[in-house]
A and B are shown apart, each in its own frame.
Chain A
Amino acid sequence: MLETLGFSSLDELFVDIPADVRLDRSLDIPAGVSEMELVAEMRQLASRNLNVDQLVCFAGGGAYDHYIPSVVWALAGRSEFYTSYTPYQPELSQGVLQTLFEFQSMICELTALEVSNASLYDGATALVEAVNMARGHGRNRVLVSAAVDPRLVDTLRTYGRGAGYEPEVFPISAGRGGEPGIEPDVAAVVVQHPNVYGILEPVRDLFGRAHDGGARAIQVFDPLSLGVLAPPGELGADIAVAEGQPLGNHLNYGGPYLGLIAARMDDVRRMPGRIVGETLDVDGKTGYVLTLQAREQHIRREKANSNICTNQTLMAVAATIYLGWLGPAGLAELGRQCASKAAYAAERLTDIDGVDLLHPDASFFKEFTITSPRGATDVRDALVERGFLAGVPLADADGHALAVAVTEKRSRDEIDRFAQAFAEVLA
């Protein structure tokens, strides 16, 4: 090939790199290895982590140990899906495009909202994009409930530095609610339901206030709560966002996950990211394309409504297959099991001397927050020794608050043993 090009060495291909920037040594990284050696090294690294097969998982905080049926990754793991690029050539990409169309449809069905995109990076960045959709026309302030996950608020704060706002946190009472002061310059009120403590919020009331003041209502939701909990669209949310990991995606130490976003049709042109639409081909046959691309960075450049390019398509494919597996009855059964097992776990844990619910009068779904005489991080670390990932420590109650999540995977026996171990580490 070099000969065809009339070159005598590979170096000639790089003559345009000036001598003063050339690297005149080898990269200081180890030499390559065989696949066999790589697998051995990675196994060794992996063996130094504990995973949720080894620790019984009661941790949540947006990422949950739900059961992932075999069909999900048997199908999403087909390489025609995972080795393809963003579907710029629709005739060669009908598989991904149609699956994303089905994904959008299912997210609309779940949320009772009118339009969904083809996914965002994760729940935290989906909230950032929702806030971007809501701001403008003299309304730039963003009010966030104090019961929204602090990692989401932190993410919002980071992006707000670029966009020119600082999220304002309004106080709650007894773990929920609060009274956001909606002035004419407030763009949006953000409420998480169920919230960071796992507690059900008086969403209709909060969103009613937002609308009375002319602000948008943004709900952070749990997609797997929607078989039993009223959907965001019925609660008055204008925009709903979620961490989509629970939909058939592995915990993966935090990613890749996917951000869900759904809104009303009036806002479709403000929606960020890829959107798939149905259309016809030249023979009149139904097909799918990326649509409304005039919103996006590759067309509108600095005037685009977001800089997002790559999203989390593969995770959305998995979510679609998972929701197809569940169906409406599976989603309802899943919600019933999570709620019942969480209620049972809360009862068993609060039977322990000194353990109480942080907010005893509030209702919760699959996650709840307890306090104990020992610091939450301490308790969690001690429970690792007994084979449990106990939950997510929160800053409340001077660091004595622990958010405990219970999915359909947890058996009564696991919950009983967890409560017993919890009692032992407090003793």
Chain B
Amino acid sequence: MIGAPVRRQDPPSGEGTIDDRSRPGRSAFGFAPLDVPEASIPDDARRRSEPGLPEISEIDLVRHYTRLSQMNYGVDTGFYPLGSCTMKYNPKVAETVAALPGFQRMHPLQPDRTAQGALEMLWHLERTLCEITGMARATLQPPAGACGEMTGLLIVRAYHEERGGGRTKVIIPDSAHGTNPASVHQAGFQAVPVPSDARGLVDVSVLEKLVDEEVAGLMLTNPNTLGLFEQEIREIARIVHEVGGLVYYDGANLNAILGRCRPGDMGFDVVHINTHKTFATPHGGGGPGAGPVGVVEELAPYLPAPVVERDDATGAFRWDHDRPRSIGRLHGYHGNAAVLVRAYAYLVLHGADGLKAVSELAALNANYLASLVSDDFPLAFPGGRPMHEFVATAKRLKGETGIRAMDVAKRLIDLGYHPSTVYFPLVVDEAMMVEPTETETKETLEGFAAAMRQAAAEARSDPDLLHQAPVTTPVRRLDEARAARHLKLRWGPPDAPE
């Protein structure tokens, strides 16, 4: 048992909205006086009534958002073992270098010759990502992983269209992230699920029956969402390639294999990378991310335009827009450049050996933590060896006590931790998906394990503690059904109850 619940510094509850603090005539803004003649806006184009933005003093503005920040939990606040999300420490130096005016204050449409440092950085980043993944070329344009998926699938589409088309299906494991089938649908394909077998891996015998000339490709996360390595990956790739399909690597779990193996060597043709997972660019409360996409040589002509090229004679870098077979553009400019600066900083900081150590320590931490909690929360697929994360199940606990994974999660909050992911992957009952990452110490892992064991013990001795949890947070369990039934999506009167 660990000691008393860790109480964070809870701000007093009832922090109303910024609009509640608004008082007519107050303001924080200030501009220099207008030093040119005032121009008029044509009458028919003019705004008649002012928008209801808050009128507030600067100190009230500062206090309000400071208080709100205190009602939020980040990696800097504490351990954040959210499975599939790779919530590792975000090095502060990446923030420092991204804030250099020479990066932060560049206009996206400034001439290439005034952007040589940025272009060189992006050029090196592309090559580094290609080396890590075993790909030939990459685009840095997609602003998030899901957009990377869309990019990759549109490349798959363009490849098949040049070869006569007729490919309508993309195969996806039933354990895949929801973005996979959603992206497949948006790219104009039909998602065909392939089941997991008893080991938690793709059922190859079923896959063999699923493939035909209509298959455009297969999307796979490896290690998969259960944290297990798809050992028959070469065979899986062969089966898909044999019918003319392409194999797509969802990079959500790239952290597990850095420097150990590469998607390109496994037979993958397209790879997307989540820099906000593997390369520690901060998640920002749900973004920004970046989702670069690497491809094999044969697919390089389809990459989104523009890409960075270097003139070998002069050493000058430029954006190359002249790519006639490109699928086009997926972002208004060049993608999330300031996120890419942070990813580049992370890669330079770690280097080849450092990256290999990342995957090793990530796997060590996950396996160590799994072993500490397995009595109460056994692995969902005990036959396989977890890599960077593990999927445990609270099924037995629920059977014995009625306590669900969600109750355990909420109790962990009262014990001072951000919970694991719960109820994903969908193929596991009462799933608790735990990803400690490589940046955590042994003591942190042991503290979390003790909290999980304590929660399990309380489920038997004092289940009300779990049913009531959390009690240490600014708000307690929130009524999500009510939120959807009585939609209130902005301040002011409620928006139409249903």
Whether B402 is near chain A, meaning CB under 8 Å from some CB there, is no
B37 touches A324 (CB 8 A): no
Measured CB to CB, the closest approach of chain B to A254, in angstroms, equals 3
Instruction: Determine whether B51 belongs to the interface, using a CB cutoff of 8 Å to chain A.
Output: yes
Contacts A339-B41, A340-B37 given: A122-B143 contact, CB under 8 Å?
yes
* Stretch in B205-213, B392-400, B450-458, B478-486 with 4+ CB within 8 Å of A: B478-486
A contact residues around B26 at 8 Å (CB): 327
The answer to whether B234 touches A324, judged by C-beta atoms less than 8 angstroms apart, is no
Residue contacts A-B, CB under 8 angstroms, 15 given: A18-B234, A22-B260, A23-B261, A38-B345, A62-B332, A65-B107, A85-B82, A105-B491, A125-B330, A155-B330, A301-B191, A304-B182, A314-B287, A333-B29, A335-B41
B385 within 8 Å of A (CB atoms): yes
When the two chains form their complex, are residues A253 and B34 in contact, meaning their CB atoms are under 8 A apart? no
A-B contact count (CB 8 A): 662
Q: Are B74 and A200 in contact (CB under 8 A)?
A: no
Q: Are B496 and A340 within 8 A (Cβ)? A: no
A172 partner residues in chain B, CB cutoff 8 A: none
Question: Does A30 sit within 8 A of B, measured CB to CB?
Answer: yes
**Would A47 and B102 count as touching, CB distance under 8 A?**
yes
Rounded to whole Å, the gap between the CB of B422 and the closest CB of chain A is: 9
Q: Write out, one digit per residue, whether chain A residues 45-60 have a CB within 8 A of any chain B CB (1) or not (0).
A: 1111111110101010
Query: Are B261 and A17 in contact, with the CB atoms below 8 A?
Result: yes
Measured between alpha carbons, how far is A84 from B68 in the docked complex, in Å?
13
Q: Which residues of chain A from 84 to 143 have any CB-CB distance to chain B below 8 Å in the complex?
A: 84-96, 98-99, 101-102, 104-106, 108-110, 112, 114-116, 118-119, 121-125
Q: Mark B56-86, 1 if CB is under 8 A from A, else 0.
A: 1010011011101111111111001010010
Query: Among B107, B109, B117, B482, which residue has the most Cβ atoms of chain A within 10 A?
Result: B107
A158 surroundings in chain B (CB, below 8 A): 154, 304, 327-330
CA distance A169 to B144 in the complex (A): 29
B163 within 8 A of A: no
A171-202 vs B, Cβ < 8 Å mask (1 yes, 0 no)? 00000000000000000000000000000100
A86 touches B283 (CB 8 A): yes
Chain B residues closer than 8 Å to A93, beta-carbon distance:
72-73, 285
Contact residues, B119-175 vs A (CB, 8 A): 120-121, 128, 131-132, 143-147, 149-150, 153-154, 157-158
Mark interface residues in B335-357 (1 if CB within 8 Å of A CB, else 0).
11111010001011111111110
A82 and B284 within 8 A (CB):
yes
Question: Which of B28, B87, B352, B487 is A277 in contact with, Cβ under 8 Å?
Answer: B487
The list of the 6 closest CB pairs from A to B, nearest first, reads: A46-B102, A254-B333, A32-B351, A95-B72, A314-B284, A330-B29
Is there a chain B Cβ closer than 8 Å to A309's Cβ? Answer: yes
Whether B410 pairs with A49 at a CB distance below 8 angstroms is no
CB proximity of B232 to chain A, nearest CB, Å? 8
If A279-B486, A281-B477 are given as contacts, then 5 extra A-B residue pairs at C-beta distance below 8 Å, sorted by A number, are A94-B475, A158-B328, A163-B188, A226-B51, A329-B50
A49 and B117 form a contact (CB under 8 A): yes
Residue in chain B with minimal CB distance to A329: B27
The one of A29, A48, A161 in contact with B120, judged by C-beta atoms closer than 8 angstroms, is A48
Nearest B residue to A325 by beta-carbon distance? Answer: B28
Q: How far in angstroms is the closest Cβ of chain B from A286? A: 8
Cross-interface CB contact of A14 among B348, B363, B489, cutoff 8 Å? B363
Q: Does B444 contact A (CB under 8 A)?
A: no
Q: Is B401 an interface residue (CB 8 A)?
A: no
**Contacting residue for B117 out of A46, A328, A337, CB 8 A:** A46
Please report which residues of chain A, range 260-292, place their CB below 8 angstroms from some CB of chain B when the two chains form the complex. Answer: 265, 268, 274-283, 285-289, 291-292
Cβ-defined contact, A115 with B489, below 8 A: yes
Which chain A positions have C-beta within 8 A of B47?
A: 226-231
Q: Which of A222-253 contact B (CB under 8 A)?
A: 226-231, 234, 243, 250-253
Choose among B96, B128, B282 the residue that contacts A39 (Cβ–Cβ < 8 A): B96
List residues of B (170-214) whose CB comes within 8 Å of A's CBs.
177-179, 181-188, 190-191
Q: Any chain A CB within 8 A of the CB of B38? A: yes
Q: Whole-angstrom distance from the CB of B268 to the nearest CB of chain A?
A: 10
- Asked if A350 is an interface residue, CB under 8 A from chain B, the answer is no
Cβ B338 vs Cβ A84 within 8 A: no
Give Cα distance in the complex from A99 to B45, angstroms. 31
Within 8 A of A (CB), among B441-489: 442, 470, 473-480, 482-484, 486-489
> Is B13 in the interface zone, CB < 8 Å from A?
yes
Q: What is the chain B residue whose CB lies nearest that of A77?
A: B95
The answer to whether A230 touches B45, judged by C-beta atoms less than 8 angstroms apart, is yes
CB distance from A356 to the nearest CB of B (A): 19
Residues of chain B lying within 8 A (CB to CB) of residue A281: 475-479
**Which single residue of chain A is at the shortest CB-CB distance from B365?**
A1
Instruction: Give CA–CA (A32, B346) in the complex, Å.
Output: 9
B35: which of A71, A301, A321, A411 is its contact (CB, 8 Å)?
A: A411
**C-alpha gap A334/B260 in the complex (Å):** 54
| B201 → chain A closest CB, angstroms | 10
Known contacts: A253-B106, A277-B489. The answer to whether A80 contacts B480 by CB under 8 A is no
